[in-house]
């Protein structure tokens, strides 16, 4: 067969049944991404004779004799295609994993298609941006600015990897060829609870190309937790690499190592496993009942109450809630449910391991290579100097990659065979074996006087941690902060993290706060209506103010700084925006229109220990090398770190060379989660840059004989009094004396500050079909001192878009046997371009942050008020209260139909 790819002609025969995506990647065209392998996401889009196609569902043989264009061939060397330039200038990406496919689709659009982008872009999904930036890129709207020396902070400079992202040259985890690479595939349990009696490996080992089959008998018998935190003791060591007991449908049973993915998959199919099926329980309330099946034995010290499957329970109170309710004129009580939802980052989990000079190297899609390294050392008894873990660019995370769930198996196989090994999740494995958000059922009881003053707040939370406790306790603690936003002398929080025979829950954007925020903010809306008060006014009367304690689980001292009234200012901005902006008109007379709001408060770093180290060095080439362990997966910390360093060093981002997320080349970093990539690692960068600047100035002062207070560092020199000394001269003089301009500094996640957000929606609900359309969306956020306005706006828009998906369409459908029935993007339904409105973003400037230059991270907190604001808007439109998510059309239709039947006296 003859192929023409990006202008190069060659003869090659694809494997039988091979798709064009894998064929092109074998040829080294790594800009062609894998997001679904089902034609759902568009990350693999290429041109076939100038027409965009999804290469994952296009057989490779169909390209025979035809012209194939990938993202790498769209523009010439040094001359990107105009659409690539527009995506860089907008910028039309965050993590960038979807960007190649998005550009290939956008570059082929006609003017007619550009006039209908919801239809034209329906085949391309983005989980990060919220799509506004993509629309801007298609239409040529530029946001990227050029910073003057020392003026990077506060400017919308572009991402350091921007050009590589839009041209398809940015390396993601699996974008590499390694000679002799072996492939792992995993056999997953069909049962929700079973004991493995035996595994017959013989037929699997007889498959040509199969090298090994690993079961629980072949792995270190060491308990660990897959969750990533600096202090591993906050999560239970209740997991093994492979176990002889499976506790959820989808759990690892065995791993097959082979020359090819196909051979490994065939090996899995041929394994013969004898199971002893055990009783299973899927509902946490049922799991806590007497006589329920026990998931973990009484000998397991990490379980609070193994008989009732309780991993952890919290009971905290301030004041006397009984007295508070007795003093109330109005009491509201309701039970609210947030379901299990998935991160759906377009890059699935994956890792590659190999040995070099006897050292284990692991290239992985992790939010924390430093802690992944520590876990591998522990599991396999390795010295720290014998392990290197690193990341290239990571294709989305949202907390889903705050786990070690691929690194352990590739390390096992490589240490066993000495061969390089790869494991890459399928999309179905992401849904059935990775860690989604905790389902939570919360009962909220609020008491208030007639004037709206809260007298009592009581929250009862039952969290479904799934089969294992990774993040089960920490998210439960985080949920307690949901009562922190409102001033009240009497508060009570009772919470339970419960084991069930379902996929283990984990970290997800908002980390334990999105679910309680939905409950508390919905309850506040209901209380306001019972009091005949405007919901925003009820919040104003009770929201915590500077100088008042941020009381959540206790009234003791804490490390949180709260000195400016960001929460009230956010409420006022959203209230005013809703009053002045009608948004789109209602589509017609069958549509009911309503408005809803919600507020949230979020701490800027986790309460547990968080650490980051940064190194800054001025090289002989007069470029500053910034080394920091934080991973870039679309949260924008790389850009912010470069801006911080450039600002402190009086230079431009172009003269900062970033080295990141490599345990051999960077210092320890707890990880990019809980907004700590900015608030903690950013402070480390600031301090390291300051230290290098001070060393340069001190040397320049001694070199010129001018007092250091009269010396100023600029882009490429130091002004000492009336003399300017070029940096090149200073570097040469310092080298001659054995001096290097370098420094390392650390930062910790304490003290912390808070971010506040308020969200408003105006929606239309179809009275017949139950469809919800968003007419207007606005979010106000206290972002502190804004380092990069375009990035902050993008993070908020992306968070709102993700929150809309969680509220309206996304849900794990699990059958009676605990098996997920919709493990694909087509049926899980994350928002597409047509589903997401433009969100007006309003920023509250404040200076009460302890982050770098008083900045606050925005990647996480923005999602918390979205679902309750939507639910409140739907209630305002229909008069029907929805206390369980998602608000799908069939659910809305069912409740509206029932309500109408009751009001008319007809049977539903």
Contact (CB, 8 A) for 167 and 75: yes
Contact (CB, 8 A) for 667 and 601: no
**Which are the contacts of 117, defined by CB distance < 8 A and separation ≥ 6?**
135, 138, 833
| Strand order through the sheet with 194-200 | 245-246, 194-200, 272-277
Angstrom CA distances, 730 to 486, 719, 724, stand at 56, 12, 11
How many CB atoms are located within 10 Å of the residue 450 CB?
A: 11
In angstroms, the CA 371 to CA 367 distance is 9
Judged on CB neighbours under 10 Å (0-12, 13-18, 19+), 494 is middle
Q: At what angle do helices 637-648 and 681-704 cross, to 10 degrees?
A: 20
Geometric angle at alpha carbon 689, from 729 and 849, rounded to 5°: 155
In angstroms, the CA 376 to CA 371 distance is 9
**Which are the contacts of 762, defined by CB distance < 8 A and separation ≥ 6?**
578, 582, 583, 593, 594, 595, 774, 775, 776, 873
Angstrom CA distances, 315 to 18, 42, 312, 318, stand at 56, 47, 10, 11
In angstroms, the CA 899 to CA 874 distance is 14
| Strand order through the sheet with 723-726 | 711-713, 717-720, 723-726
In angstroms, the CA 305 to CA 383 distance is 36
Cα 230 off chain centre by: 18
Instruction: Give the residue among 33, 72, 73, 74 at the shortest CA–CA distance from 56.
Output: 33
Asked whether the predicted pLDDT for residue 905 surpasses 80, the reply is no
**Residue 902: what pLDDT?**
62
Predicted TM-score (pTM) of the model is 0.96
Quote the tokens at residue 169.
Answer: 């040259």
Contact (CB, 8 A) for 672 and 658: no
Q: Mean pLDDT of all residues in the chain?
A: 95
**Residue 761: what pLDDT?**
98
**Residue 908: what pLDDT?**
35
Q: Which residue has the tokens 């993040």?
A: 471
> What residues pair up with 443 in beta bridges, in sequence order?
335, 460
Q: Which of 480 and 153 is assigned the larger pLDDT? A: 153
Geometric angle at alpha carbon 145, from 691 and 134, rounded to 5°: 120
Quote the tokens at residue 180.
Answer: 């002799």
Mean pLDDT, to the nearest integer, of 395-420?
A: 98
What are the phi and psi torsion angles at 155 (to 5°)?
Answer: -115, 145
Task: Determine what percent of the chain is predicted with pLDDT higher than 70.
Answer: 99
Angstrom CA distances, 646 to 153, 632, 656, stand at 8, 18, 7
In angstroms, the CA 315 to CA 318 distance is 11
Mean pLDDT, to the nearest integer, of 439-458?
A: 98
Asked whether the predicted pLDDT for residue 299 surpasses 80, the reply is no
**Residue 906: what pLDDT?**
46
In angstroms, the CA 875 to CA 589 distance is 18
**Residue 555: what pLDDT?**
78
List pLDDT tens digits, range 534-572: 999 999 999 999 888 877 777 788 888 888 999 999 999
Mean pLDDT, to the nearest integer, of 196-202?
A: 98
In angstroms, the CA 527 to CA 520 distance is 10
The dihedral built from the CA positions of residue 391, 393, 397 and 399, taken in this order, carries a sign that is: positive
In angstroms, the CA 223 to CA 238 distance is 6
Mean pLDDT, to the nearest integer, of 652-658?
A: 98
HEC string of 858-894?
CCCHHHCCHHHHHHHHHHHHHCCCCCECCCCHHHHHH
Contact (CB, 8 A) for 427 and 830: no
Q: At what angle do helices 132-139 and 789-808 cross, to 10 degrees?
A: 120
Angstrom CA distances, 157 to 406, 845, 900, stand at 35, 19, 54
Predicted confidence band at 522 (pLDDT cuts at 50, 70, 90)? very high
Residue 263 CA neighbour count, 13 Å, CB half: 15
List pLDDT tens digits, range 47-63: 999 999 999 999 999 99
3-class secondary-structure state, position 791? helix
Asked whether the predicted pLDDT for residue 678 surpasses 60, the reply is yes
In angstroms, the CA 585 to CA 593 distance is 9
**Residue 904: what pLDDT?**
55
Instruction: Give the residue among 599, 586, 612 at the shortest CA–CA distance from 666.
Output: 612
In angstroms, the CA 493 to CA 315 distance is 6
Mean pLDDT, to the nearest integer, of 385-403?
A: 98
Contact (CB, 8 A) for 599 and 523: no
List pLDDT tens digits, range 598-627: 999 998 888 878 999 999 999 999 999 999
Instruction: Look up residue 826 and give its DSSP letter.
Output: H
In angstroms, the CA 872 to CA 881 distance is 8
Q: What is the DSSP string of 96-158?
A: -TTHHHHHHHHTT--HHHHTTHHHHTTT---SSS-SHHHHHHHHT-----PPPTT--TTS-PP
Direct distance between the N- and C-terminal alpha carbons of the chain, in angstroms, rounded to an integer:
63
What are the phi and psi torsion angles at 303 (to 5°)?
Answer: -90, 130
Angstrom CA distances, 22 to 5, 761, 801, stand at 14, 43, 31
What are the phi and psi torsion angles at 672 (to 5°)?
Answer: -90, 85
| Strand order through the sheet with 624-628 | 656-660, 624-628, 611-618, 742-748
Buried b (16+ CB within 10 A) or exposed e, 249-284: bbbbbbbbbbbbbbbbbbbbebbebebeebebbbbb
Q: Which residue has the tokens 């000394």?
A: 725
Q: Which residue has the tokens 């299990």?
A: 340
Q: Give the residue ranges of DSSP H helices in 809-865.
A: 825-828
């Amino acid at each position: 067969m003859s192929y023409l790819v990006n202008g190069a002609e060659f003869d090659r025969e694809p494997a039988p049944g091979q798709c064009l995506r894998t064929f092109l990647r074998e040829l080294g065209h790594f800009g062609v991404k894998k997001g679904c392998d089902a034609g759902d996401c568009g990350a693999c889009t290429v041109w076939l004779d100038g027409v965009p196609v999804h290469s994952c569902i296009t057989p490779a043989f169909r390209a025979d004799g035809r012209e194939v264009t990938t993202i790498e061939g769209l523009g010439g060397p040094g001359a990107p295609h105009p659409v690539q330039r527009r995506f860089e200038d907008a910028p039309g990406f965050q993590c960038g994993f979807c960007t190649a496919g998005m550009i290939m689709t956008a570059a082929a659009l006609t003017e007619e298609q550009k006039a209908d982008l919801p239809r034209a872009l329906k085949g391309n999904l983005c989980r990060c941006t919220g799509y506004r930036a993509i629309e801007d890129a298609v239409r040529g709207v530029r946001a990227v600015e050029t910073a003057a020396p020392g003026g990077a902070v506060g400017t919308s400079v572009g991402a350091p990897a921007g050009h590589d992202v839009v041209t398809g040259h940015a390396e993601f985890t699996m974008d590499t060829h390694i000679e002799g690479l072996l492939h792992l595939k995993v056999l997953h349990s069909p049962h929700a609870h079973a004991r493995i009696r035996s595994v017959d490996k013989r037929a699997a080992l007889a498959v040509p190309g199969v090298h090994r089959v690993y079961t629980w008998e072949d792995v270190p018998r060491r308990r660990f937790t897959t969750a990533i935190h600096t202090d591993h003791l906050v999560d239970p060591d209740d997991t093994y690499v492979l176990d002889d007991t499976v506790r959820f449908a989808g759990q690892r049973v065995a791993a097959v190592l082979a020359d090819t993915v196909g051979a490994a998959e065939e090996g899995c199919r041929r394994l013969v496993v004898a199971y002893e099926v055990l009783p299973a329980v899927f509902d946490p309330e049922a799991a806590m009942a007497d006589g329920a099946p026990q998931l973990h034995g009484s000998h397991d010290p990490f379980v609070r109450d193994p008989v009732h499957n309780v991993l952890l329970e919290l009971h905290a109170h301030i004041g006397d809630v009984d007295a508070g309710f007795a003093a109330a004129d109005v009491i509201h009580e309701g039970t609210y449910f947030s379901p299990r939802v998935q991160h759906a980052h377009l890059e699935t989990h994956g890792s590659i391991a190999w040995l070099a000079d006897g050292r284990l190297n692991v290239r992985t899609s992790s939010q924390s290579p430093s802690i992944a390294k520590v876990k591998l050392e522990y599991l396999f008894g390795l010295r720290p100097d014998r392990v290197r873990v690193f990341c290239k660019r990571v294709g989305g995370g949202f907390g889903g990659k705050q786990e070690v769930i691929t690194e352990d198996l590739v390390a096992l196989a490589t240490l066993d065979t000495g061969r390089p090994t790869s494991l890459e999740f399928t999309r179905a494995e992401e849904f059935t074996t990775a860690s989604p958000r905790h389902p939570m059922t919360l009962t909220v009881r609020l008491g208030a006087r007639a004037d709206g003053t809260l007298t009592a707040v009581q929250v009862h939370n039952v969290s479904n941690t799934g089969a294992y406790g990774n993040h089960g306790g920490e998210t439960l603690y985080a949920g307690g902060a949901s009562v922190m936003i409102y001033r009240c002398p009497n508060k009570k929080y009772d919470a339970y993290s419960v084991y069930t025979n379902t996929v283990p829950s984990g970290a997800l954007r908002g980390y334990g706060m999105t679910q309680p925020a939905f409950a508390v903010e919905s309850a506040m809306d209901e209380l306001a209506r019972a009091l005949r008060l405007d919901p925003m006014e009820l919040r104003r009367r009770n929201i915590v103010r500077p100088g008042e304690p941020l009381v959540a689980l206790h009234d003791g001292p804490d490390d949180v700084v709260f000195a400016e009234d960001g929460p009230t200012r956010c409420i006022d901005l959203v209230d005013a925006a809703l009053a002045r902006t009608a948004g789109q008109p209602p589509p017609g007379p069958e549509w009911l229109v309503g408005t809803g709001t919600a507020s949230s408060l979020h701490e800027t770093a986790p309460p547990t220990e968080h650490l980051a180290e940064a190194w800054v060095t001025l090289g002989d080439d007069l470029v500053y090398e910034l080394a920091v362990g934080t991973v870039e997966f679309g949260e924008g910390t790389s850009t912010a770190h470069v801006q911080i360093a450039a600002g402190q060093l009086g230079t431009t981002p172009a003269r900062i060379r970033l080295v990141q997320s490599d345990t051999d080349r960077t210092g320890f970093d707890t990880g990019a989660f809980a907004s700590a990539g900015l608030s903690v690692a950013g402070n480390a960068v600031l301090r390291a840059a300051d230290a290098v600047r001070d060393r340069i100035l001190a040397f320049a002062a001694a070199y010129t004989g001018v007092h250091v207070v009269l010396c100023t560092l600029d882009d490429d020199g130091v002004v000492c009094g009336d003399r300017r000394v070029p940096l090149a001269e200073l570097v040469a003089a310092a080298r001659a004396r054995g001096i290097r301009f370098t420094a390392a500094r650390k930062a910790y996640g304490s003290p912390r500050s808070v971010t506040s957000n308020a969200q408003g929606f105006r929606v239309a609900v179809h009275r017949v079909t139950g469809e919800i359309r968003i007419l207007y969306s606005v979010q106000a956020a206290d972002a502190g001192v804004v380092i990069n306005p375009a990035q902050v706006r993008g993070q908020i828009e992306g968070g709102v878009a993700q929150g809309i998906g969680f509220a309206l369409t996304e849900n794990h459908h699990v059958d009676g046997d605990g098996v997920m029935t919709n493990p694909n993007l087509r049926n899980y339904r994350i928002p597409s371009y047509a589903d997401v409105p433009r969100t007006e973003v309003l920023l509250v400037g404040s200076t009460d942050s302890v982050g770098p230059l008083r900045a606050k991270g925005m990647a996480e907190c923005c999602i918390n008020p979205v679902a309750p604001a939507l639910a409140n808007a739907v209630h305002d439109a229909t008069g029907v209260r929805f206390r369980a998510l998602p608000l799908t059309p069939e659910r809305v239709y069912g409740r509206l139909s029932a309500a109408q039947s009751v009001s008319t006296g007809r049977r539903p």
